[in-house]
A and B are shown apart, each in its own frame.
Chain A
Amino acid sequence: MSTRALSARRPGTVDRVGSARLRVVAMLAIALVLAGMVWSRLAYWQVAQHGRLAMQAQAQYREYVELPALRGSIFDRSLTQLVVNTTVYSAFVSPDQVQAGDRDRVATGLSTVLGVDKAKLMTVLESSSKFAYVQRRFPKPKADQLRVLKLPGVGLQEETQRSYLPGITAGTTLAANLLGFVDWNGDGRYGLEERYQKALAGTPGFISSYRDLSNREIVLGSHTHQDPINGSDLVLSLDANIQYAAEQALAEGVKRDHAESGSVLIMDPSTGGIVAWADYPSYNANDFNHTDASLFKDNVLSYVYEPGSVMKVVTLSGAINAGAITPSTVINDPGYVKVGGYWIYDWDRRNHGSIDYTYVLEHSLNVGAMKAMLAEGHDAYYKNLQAFGLTQPSGIDVAGENYIPIPTAAKMQDSQYATTAFGQGIDVNMVQMLAATNVVANGGKYAPPHLVERIGTQINPLLLQPQRQVISPDTAAKMTTMMQMVVQHGSGWTSRIRGFELDQAGKTGTSQIPVNGKYTQDVWASFVGFLPAKHPKFTMLVVIRKPHYPGSDQDWTLNDGYMTAEPIWRQIALAMVAGWRITPDR
């Protein structure tokens, strides 16, 4: 073999060796790429998607169940339970789990037990939906009947419901407007249920456990668990028996007077605790989802009105306390007076001549009240309104308080001072007004109005605070005597209770309702009173809205508080005297 021949062959050998290496490298590269793809895919599922996949897997065999906290109960002052937690059931159906041959049996069973329309049920069962409620919130006996039937694709869901005590008629529950209700989401709505939602609801717990293929819980498997913290019970100052008597008397009175509505509020004079809180019309809190929402409104707290002559108690108390007048101070009342460009009249437009302030209150004379305010002076009078709590919300522990702020002292017109002195041109809610007049019954101290005495084992801190002295005890005693005279000689005569004729104090209030800036013949009629006068056991305010006595379309005075509110006050006071065994002082 020649050298040329060898030299000619070597390059060929080198070529073969080079191509083999290339192939190996190429194979390795391809293998690496393929492996990289697999690894990256694995990394994608194992690392990037780990969280999501783990959650999906857990969701298949692990179950998280919220353990609802038991909502706190509500008791009255005698520990009568006003609301009970009961278990109700909701039936649901999964149409995709009901065989075509079973549909008729399922529909028949459900319609027989629950009373639902069978044709509608068949439509649902024939649909492709996976879930539908058949009926919600029915009692246990019906649930037991359904369990016995063992209908395929039909399930029962337990829910908790608040059940309230029956009221005066089948369509109402006791103290519905005060207590409010709890909606289907477990949230308190209106009244105490809303105001004390956090305390009543408690804190839910949870349990996280495993389920087998047939969705049965494996209780002894590994699971995490946290107990719920049940809601606190509330103990109120309310008296269920007096509440019932108040609702009954109020309903009869509102119907008798052909009124639009009415409310009653009763307070323990020394503590400010509310004893009864009645509204008419009211509603059935056990059936709130079928109730006109306008009935949920609580008129005691959310309805502001002009208190009328009840305000004279505040005006004269302030003037006496300031030393501007005494009960026996004599004034001249011609029956009218001009203030700030406006003529202001007594309700009867009569010339009463020389009279004292006891007479002014007995006969509810506007001119006299206005002169008392002028004697005291605007600034002192305004401070008086503040001290009696009429320039700010009462702050009572019930949801939904409404109030209309009065202008600042500097912005009050002379005419507004004048009308405010006898309770017109100033808007208050009933709680504000009762708390203000209760100052007289409580020896001159302002007792903060409240409903809840205890939350769980904690006493309401409000009860431990010292009460604010608004007027002197001597002024309160003088005003009490004047209010006794109202019952004995004045417009309070229809409230008299046998045995207490000399020992009860009160004041009527009737104010015309303004519409578009003009007063109409419609009125708010009210009466506030307490007994026994010197050692009162209760203070009560009754307000009747738009009563319509025959013939009152042309004469609003026919709807006066002594005709409408007072008889209701008297009827409830009789129940209290009997129920609380109250005896006269003398």
Chain B
Amino acid sequence: MAVGAVLIVLLFYLAIVAQITASSYDISRLQDQQRQLVAEQDQLRYQEVTLHAPAQVQQQAAQSGMQRIVPSSYVLANQVAIDLGSPIGDSPTDTTPRWLRAVALVVNTVGATRDVQAASKH
């Protein structure tokens, strides 16, 4: 009886050890696979970085028939004389139709915005 119990425990122990060993081999194989995938990822990253490199961009541009443009020229703006000391004149006349102003007043109130009319006019 006792011998049988010991035998069962021994077999159980051996089964567990075998399972652990098999699992460790699986892990080892997967680690190897992971290393290969990481290596592939590195290659892909290098390809990606190379595709964005200035050399590659220029080569692709040349192959597409693109040419470097002549640098843009700069236009000198005419100077505008502004006299900040001059008196402020009359406000410009509002030519918006009365009905549109009324609508805007309602919409502004309802919509809680004062930009509706400006937005609709431009």
Contact = CB atoms under 8 A, between A and B. Distances in A.
Contacts of B55: 165-168, 174, 244
Interface residues of B, number: 29
A87 B74 contact: no
A80 B40 CA distance: 21
Given A165-B53, A166-B50, A217 B43 contact: no
B107 interface: no
Contacts of A87: 35, 38-39, 42-43
Contact of A140 (B27, B28, B40): B40
Interface string A166-184: 1110000010000000000
A241 interface: yes
A158 B27 CA distance: 19
A499 B39 contact: no
A497 interface: yes
Interface stretch (B17-25, B88-96, B98-106): B17-25
A192 B38 CA distance: 26
Contacts of A329: none
B28 A219 contact: yes
Contacts of A218: 21, 24
A140 B39 contact: yes
Given A165-B55, A166-B55, A583-B74, A84 B28 contact: no
Contact of A240 (B36, B46, B53, B71): B53
A84 B54 CA distance: 16
A578 interface: yes
B53 A499 contact: no
Contacts of B50: 165-166
A139 interface: yes
A81 B35 contact: no
A16 interface: no
Nearest to A243: B54
B52 A216 contact: no
Given A165-B53, A578-B71, A86 B42 contact: yes
Given A217-B28, A220-B23, A220-B24, A166 B40 contact: no
Given A86-B39, A86-B43, A497-B71, 8 more contacts: A80-B49, A217-B24, A219-B31, A221-B24, A244-B55, A244-B58, A498-B71, A578-B72
B46 A86 contact: yes
B20 A499 contact: no
B67 interface: no
Given A221-B24, A578-B71, A174 B43 contact: no
Interface string B37-75: 011101101100110111110100000000000011110
B35 A158 contact: yes
A219 B27 contact: yes
Interface of B: 20-21, 23-25, 27-28, 31, 35-36, 38-40, 42-43, 45-46, 49-50, 52-56, 58, 71-74
B39 A84 contact: no
A84 B20 contact: no
Contact of B27 (A220, A240, A241, A499): A220
21 contacts: A84-B42, A84-B45, A84-B49, A86-B39, A86-B42, A86-B46, A87-B39, A139-B43, A158-B39, A165-B50, A166-B55, A219-B25, A220-B23, A243-B54, A244-B54, A244-B55, A244-B58, A498-B74, A499-B74, A578-B71, A584-B74
Interface string A559-580: 0000000000000001001100
B54 A174 contact: yes
A81 B47 CA distance: 12
Nearest to B59: A166
Contacts of B72: 499, 578
B54 A577 contact: no
A497 B73 CA distance: 10
Nearest to B39: A87
Contact of B24 (A85, A219, A240, A574): A219
A94 interface: no
Contacts of A167: 55
Contacts of A271: none
A574 B72 CA distance: 10
A163 B56 CA distance: 15
Contacts of B23: 219-220
Nearest to A500: B74
A574 to B, nearest CB: 5
Contacts of B31: 219
A85 B74 contact: no
A499 B73 contact: yes
B6 to A, nearest CB: 25
Contacts of B43: 86-87, 139-140
B22 to A, nearest CB: 10
Contacts of B27: 219-220
A498 B20 CA distance: 76
A168 B50 CA distance: 13
Contacts of A245: 54
A11 to B, nearest CB: 66
Nearest to A240: B54
What 6 A-B pairs have minimum CB-CB distances, sorted nearest first? A87-B39, A244-B54, A499-B74, A219-B24, A220-B24, A219-B27
B52 A80 contact: yes
Interface in A484-532: 497-499
Nearest to A239: B54
B24 A81 contact: no
B74 A174 contact: no
